[in-house]
Amino acid sequence: MRSYAATATSTAPPAIVWRLLVDARTWPVWSAVDSLDTERSSGLDPDGRDPVGAVRAFRTGRTVTGERLTGLDEEKRLTYEDAFNRAIRDYQAVVDLRPTPDGGTVIHWHGTYSARWGMGWLMQGVMQRVMQQMADGLAAHAAQQRKP
């Protein structure tokens, strides 16, 4: 089993970070994914509050991966697992949000997975880099949402 951990801090409060995190439609704006594939997704909320059980399919280049929401603790923790992914299996991820004393949010995005045969070392570097980009992008975009 392999793992990654990425941390970023936003000046935005947890409520703003949470709103972006739980709404799959915002991910292409701030994350490493190119688009949300609504045809391969299921259970998405039209108001942007995707529920536990929703499968969010994201396209990056020609690759589409699916993630099923497994837990939501409002403004604190979002958990998900892989629904379909060619490169990894047994993927479980957690995004923890912790308020800072100055009103911002620490984002801690971490997970575990097994790489497909022959892809272990490649995926270790890719996952760490991409998930740090995800955390950094979420932190920066949330901070922009805070501005008037």
Domain regions of the chain by residue span: 2-146
CA distance 63 to 87: 10
C-alpha 29: how far from chain center: 12
Q: What average pLDDT does range 86-91 have in this prediction?
A: 84
pLDDT at residue 119 in the model: 62
**CATH superfamily, domain at 2-146:** START domain (3.30.530.20)
Q: Any alpha helices (H) in the chain, and if so which ranges?
A: 14-22, 27-30, 120-146
Confidence of residue 87 (pLDDT cuts 50, 70, 90): confident
CA distance 77 to 62: 30
Residue written as token pair 């059980």: 53
Quick: pLDDT tens for 97-123. Answer: 999 999 999 999 999 998 776 665 666
The yes-or-no verdict on residue 78 having pLDDT over 80 is yes
The yes-or-no verdict on residue 85 having pLDDT over 70 is yes
Confidence of residue 79 (pLDDT cuts 50, 70, 90): very high
Confidence of residue 126 (pLDDT cuts 50, 70, 90): confident
CA dist 96 → 70, 75, 103 (Å): 14, 9, 16
pLDDT at residue 110 in the model: 97
Quick: pLDDT tens for 34-77. Answer: 999 999 999 999 999 999 999 999 999 999 999 999 999 999 99
- Other Cβ atoms within 10 Å of 21 Cβ, number: 25
Among 88-92, 130-134, 136-140, which stretch is predicted with the lowest mean pLDDT?
88-92
User: What single-letter DSSP state applies at residue 23?
Assistant: -
Q: Helix, strand, or coil here: 40?
A: coil
